[in-house]
Amino acid sequence: MEAKPWRERVRQEEELVEQLQLQVSQAAKRRAEALLEGVDELGTVAEVARDLGKTWSAVDKAIKKNRPGTTGPTTTK
């Protein structure tokens, strides 16, 4: 059995990387939406962070980075 040429293997791997990056991006957006639902339920980013055992800044950053149009601190609903 002959191995695939390296150029073809590189192209295949680049396609896989693109697919995975798209999946990661979509998952991050869904996670941000879920975190915002948590803010709606619990009242603040700090409460969501406490509930999840994360830092306030990690939760806030995840929301801001993946929710276009979100600006400023997200400490309240």
What stretch of H or E contains 71? Answer: none
- pLDDT for 77 equals 44
What is the end-to-end Cα distance of the chain in Å, rounded? 60
- Which burial class, exposed, middle or buried, applies to 63 when counting CB atoms under 10 A from its CB (0-12, 13-18, 19+)? buried
Q: Which domain holds residue 21?
A: 6-66
Angstrom distance (rounded) from CA 39 to CA 29: 15
Share of the chain above pLDDT 70, in %: 87
Task: Answer whether residue 73 is part of any domain.
Answer: no
- pLDDT for 69 equals 57
Task: Answer whether residue 74 is part of any domain.
Answer: no
Q: How many domains does the chain have?
A: 1
What radius of gyration do the chain's Cα atoms show?
19
pTM of the shown model: 0.77
Task: Answer whether residue 61 is part of any domain.
Answer: yes
Task: Answer whether residue 11 is part of any domain.
Answer: yes
Residue 71 has pLDDT above 80, yes or no: no
Share of the chain above pLDDT 90, in %: 82
Task: Answer whether residue 76 is part of any domain.
Answer: no
